[in-house]
A and B are shown apart, each in its own frame.
Chain A
Amino acid sequence: MPTVAVDKADLWERLGQEFSSEEFDTLCFEYGLELDEDTTEEVQEAIKKGLPAERPQLKIEIPANRYDLLCIEGISRALNVFLGKAEPPRYKLVYPPEGESAILNISVHSDTKKIRPLIAGAILRNVKFTPRSYASFIDLQDKLHQNICRRRQLVAIGTHDLDSLQTPFRYEARSPKDIKFAPLNKDKEYTAEELMTVYESDKQLSRYLPIIRDSSVYPIIYDAKDRVLSMPPIINSEHSKITLNTRNVFIECTATDQTKLDIVVNMVATMFSEYCAEPFTIEPVKVIMPDGSSRVSPDLSERNMLAHASYVNSCTGLSLNADEVAKLLRKMSLFPSISSSNPDEIHVNIPATRPDIFHECDVMEDAAIAYGFNNLPHTFPPTSTVGQPLAINKLSDIIRLEWAMAGWTEVLPLTLCSLEENFDFLNHKDDGKIAVKIANPKTLEFQVVRTTLIPGLLKTIRENRSHALPINIFETGDVVFKDPRRERQSRNERHAGAVWCNKTAGFEIVHGVLDRAMKMLEIPRIGSADFKAESGYYLKETSDPMYFPGRAATIYYRPPPQKRKHSAIHKLKHDIEAAIHASDRHDIEIGTLGILHPSVLEKFEIQYPCSALEFTLEPFKKEMQKIWTNDE
């Protein structure tokens, strides 16, 4: 959320009263702002010490969709209306005194389509800036650039001293070699190519260079005398820069999307039109597109939306009539009028400063804010439903409790790890088929989503060197595998894992932990060559390089036959399979256990032998019951 610093004394003056910190905090809270900081004390402290001090400021957090509150002008306008101290302004387009035909033309060259096709403009006439309003003007542009403009990517704003320029203007796109001008705060001319190098080391501007750098053409705005106004989205020209003495301000915005372009140009124009000789008037410009079509900018027309008192009531739980709702909406700087034909209907005119309103629900929210969220009645929803835990979580909890009761301590490592930890460190190869990889990790720690719980358990042991031996820890948690059949191309799988670390490796100890879990899940232990058993689990030696040779086993599970198949035919089929030693063809590998290979221990910097166990819990998930509802 953006934070705006406003001059405290100026704000009080605009609001016509002084607030205590608590009072203002409460006001902000009700309106949906947050008073982050009041620098008054800091400033007084500095003055006491004889240090240079700025004027006391209030730092206010603004909701990210309220671009109209990104400056003191907008905040004070909104709060004055909210407090009932003022009527909201109605912004007006005023053509030049010479008439509509004298409107400033900006013609757009078709090459701009290759890089930044859209432009809009507005003129503020007879402006009087003070140093503080000038600073606020610059600051608003910066705030817009950082937020809705997505760091100038979507929209870039330039402001110019209109009197230094000759109309009409042209918006073109040219090869960087063919662009040459003196940019803001430089007295020398550079080609656009050179500027790309010059600004490489500029902390601020270097961030915007990639937006156009690799394009064959760069956007550029000229006046009638071929003087550059700006090269969006990078820099304005020195020639047309605005100063405290500028009287007529030309605002231009260039963009890749029309909606955001309109929002931004409207914000800059409406917020600062209060400094015009005739406040809240804006002189439009005409943008002539390459196909000859044209549009007048800015478009400050109010949008009309139909709201209903009944909708507001049904959403908020209030019972207001249209009059009362309209009164609330007025507090939020909207212009409601009640329908003459339907007493429930309210025609709401939405000023150009409120592009955050898309839907009647946004109007409803404004009414609720004006009423006060904390003044609403407290009711309890009558929705009647039956609670139910998720099967896999219930199963996990059983294992967690059983293992904790068996003397094991639960740990909670992270799900993300490095590629090495997930594969190389375990003597496993990454075949590119199982692990989900992250494109933009900030550190090596987060390259991959784990496919096994072992690295996290071993890292936990590594970090707990000072713990008395043995260290016996476990985790039940999700690992993630690639799965091309699914929409999200991957699936989580709930695993249970445990590691025993002591002076002797203790294979039989993790084996015991497995046996305990299975016993509690009523899965019988069967022999690895038992083809008669209907269901159960057994171990078979394996040669996983993560484990010490001859001390590793795969855990197999033979699921019980489906209930419905529990027939004589099924039994016969099973008997035949058992006779030909084929009944294990339904058996699934659920995991492994063993003594960890010394080279694995070395990679995880563990000095003592360890045994590890990991298996999936998914096959043991109980099918959920269908909960009774009165539908059926």
Chain B
Amino acid sequence: MSEQLQQLILDTLEKHSKIEDTRSLDVPDKSDPYEDQLAILGALNSLLSRDMVKYESHDVFSYVLTPEGAHIAKEGSHEARVWAALPAKGQGTPVTPVQLKKAVGDESAKVGQGNAFKRGWIAKEGDGLVKTVDSITDTTQLDLQQIQATGDLKSGDKVLADLRKRKLILQRKGQWFTVQKGPSFSTSIAKPETDLTADMLTSGAWKTSTFKKYNFEAEGIPTSGGALHPLLKVREELRDIFLEMGFAEMPTSSFVESAFWCFDALFVPQQHPARDLQDTFYISDPPKSLPPEPSYYKRVSTVHEHGGYGSAGYRAPWSHEESSKLLLRTHTTASSAHMLYKLAAKCRGEDIEGDEKEFTHGAKPTTKHGEKQDDDGFRPAKLFSIDRVFRNETMDATHLAEFHQVEGVVADKGLTLADLIGFMRVFFSKMGIEQVRFKPAYNPYTEPSLEIFAFHPMLNKWVEVGNSGMFRPEMLEPMGFPKDVRVHGWGLSLERPTMIRYGINNIRTLLGHKVSVESVENSPAVMF
């Protein structure tokens, strides 16, 4: 059909050199005028893509029948059907309204009676109705039939408006076209090739074939691959930053921690608000942790309760029960504390327990001039982790009970606060954050503690992006580190930079089962 139509257009153009109005074309398999013009448009576009024709389009309004209108076109108007159902005057029993309803249906009986009376086609006789004329012209039916066939009505707009009001027809916008020959006009519609095929290569047909013009505005076919989760794409980017800077990834495979490792070892006082039930998930089963290594435990409890290592300590009663509670770690610093304890093993004169290849550390320290120092067992280390932490928070757009913490630790002799600040500037500039500044803050396990603020160009203000500090001697020295070992630590959430990267306001659209799979499939790559 489409090719036939194209041929018809080309032949007509060949004959008349122009088609003024495509409605005059004798379309094969004629349906209604509107559909015909649509088919012509398809054919014209196909020819246009090969530059065989040029055309202009013109708008035209045509009419189509509603289902009710189509019914009338077929069966006649309600009034005509009423008339037809009645006997001629004096020739038979008048039909009662009840009988009429039965004969033509409720709708026709109701609407038709009134109209038939108005036109003087029927009259009352006794209880019933009779014809008053021998024949009628059902203009409504004829008009609708005409509209059905031509899409228009010769008798004019007034009748059309009336039919529209009666919901028998609808207006429809259509088009017709004026067609001229194009630069590559020919009457032959040898179908242009859409794609280069293997057969063409074999036969050499590609040399003579014409190719259909490609529509560069169209979209390509979507790929059918899988996708990685956007939060983990940002995680990868951050891991790369750490690895590029020589950090070893720490094992963090213990969501369950003891209060000892999560808080006590970090010199967080036992009465600290972070340890409240409102903030921390405690574990009911299993009931409590096994005791940590006794001498270390003793050193930790002593520095809390009575001080030591140059510290006054908290001088508050120590509870063993509090220390042995199990909980879901509130920060990965719990894991870092355990790694630092491992790192200090040689300083304590012990072997590293468990898998010592789990992390790497640097070489034996030397003096500035490269001379060997007395070996106190200490080895410098740069460690990082990105893993899940848990807070017993009421959930809202920015808080979830679970999120990911990014954590970095640098341990070496003679590290300074200036080193920490300089290092943070490099770290954040690798994340694309150039302007940072540092605010003194309080954190039980670091002194000094620095909140890191970054200038957010979109919000035009400074926003907090992370926390950092130097771990306290009360935490490091009980582990066995020599006094001159300083440890920098810093942390930030993974979700925060990810939400900024993807312009997400609600954390629940990023993490958890409510995340839309489609949004995962469509989240762009990340390059800091």
Interface residues of A (CB under 8 A from B): 1, 29-32, 34, 63-66, 147, 150, 154, 256-260, 303, 314-318, 356, 358-362, 364-365, 368-369, 373-374, 376-390, 392-393, 397, 400-401, 403-416, 432, 435-442, 446, 449, 456, 459-460, 462-464, 467, 471-473, 478, 480, 482, 484, 486-492, 494, 623-627, 629-631
Contacts and interface: CB of A to CB of B under 8 A. Distances in A.
Contacts of B428: none
A376 to B, nearest CB: 5
B283 A404 contact: no
A385 B245 CA distance: 9
A489 B513 CA distance: 28
Interface in B299-344: 307, 309-317, 326, 328
B410 A438 contact: no
Task: Please classify how large the interface on chain B is, using the bins under 10, 10 to 19, 20 to 34, 35 or more.
Answer: 35 or more
5 contacts: A316-B418, A387-B248, A438-B282, A488-B258, A629-B360
A317 B226 contact: no
Contacts, number: 326
Interface in B474-528: 474, 484, 486, 488, 511-518, 520-521
A624 B417 CA distance: 33
A30 B438 CA distance: 8
Given A484-B286, A626-B357, 11 more contacts: A63-B440, A303-B312, A359-B312, A373-B438, A381-B423, A386-B360, A392-B251, A438-B281, A439-B283, A491-B254, A624-B355
A385 to B, nearest CB: 4
B284 interface: yes
Contacts of A487: 258, 289-292
A315 B441 CA distance: 17
Contacts of A439: 281-284
Given A32-B441, A373-B439, A387-B242, A489 B418 contact: no
B317 A257 contact: yes
Nearest to A445: B401
Nearest to A396: B232
B517 A629 contact: no
A180 to B, nearest CB: 33
A326 B388 CA distance: 44
Contact of A365 (B312, B362, B447): B447
B520 A410 contact: yes
B364 A385 contact: no
A385 B381 contact: yes
A383 B289 CA distance: 35
A359 B307 CA distance: 9
A358 B313 contact: yes
B430 to A, nearest CB: 13
A356 to B, nearest CB: 8
B224 A369 contact: no
B414 to A, nearest CB: 6
A442 B472 contact: no
Interface string B244-256: 1111111101111
B348 interface: no
B289 A489 contact: yes
Interface in B340-384: 355, 357-364, 379-382
A436 B380 contact: no
Contacts of A384: 246, 362-363, 380
A409 B521 contact: yes
Contact of B227 (A365, A409, A462): A409
Q: Which 9 A-B pairs have the closest CB atoms?
A: A317-B418, A32-B440, A317-B416, A63-B442, A439-B284, A459-B513, A390-B249, A378-B422, A492-B253
B412 A381 contact: yes
B417 A317 contact: yes
B28 interface: no
Contacts of B288: 489
A314 B414 contact: yes
Contact of A629 (B363, B414, B442, B472): B363
Contacts of B328: 416, 438, 449
B229 interface: yes
Contact of A315 (B283, B417, B512, B521): B417
Nearest to A448: B285
Given A409-B521, A414-B511, A385 B246 contact: yes
Given A358-B307, A385-B246, A629 B361 contact: yes
Interface in B170-189: none
B42 interface: no
B470 interface: yes
A402 to B, nearest CB: 10
B248 A379 contact: no
Contact of B417 (A64, A316, A387, A413): A316
B442 A385 contact: no
A332 to B, nearest CB: 10
A374 B236 CA distance: 30
B415 interface: yes
A449 B326 CA distance: 13
B458 interface: no
Contact of A436 (B242, B283, B292, B381): B283
Nearest to B224: A407
B445 to A, nearest CB: 12
Interface in B413-435: 414-423, 425-426
Nearest to A471: B517
Contacts of B228: 400-401, 404, 410
A364 B449 CA distance: 12
A316 B414 CA distance: 10
A324 to B, nearest CB: 16
A405 B315 contact: no
Contacts of B251: 390, 392
A383 B410 contact: yes
A442 B392 contact: yes
Nearest to B511: A412
A373 B242 CA distance: 24
Contacts of A460: 513, 515, 517
A623 B417 contact: no
A490 B392 contact: no
B337 to A, nearest CB: 13
Contacts of B231: 412
A364 B314 CA distance: 19
A303 B449 CA distance: 23
Contacts of B23: none
A478 B253 contact: yes
B380 A380 contact: no
Given A359-B311, A416-B390, A467-B517, A365 B440 contact: yes
Contact of B256 (A64, A390, A490, A625): A490
Contact of A442 (B290, B394, B437, B520): B394
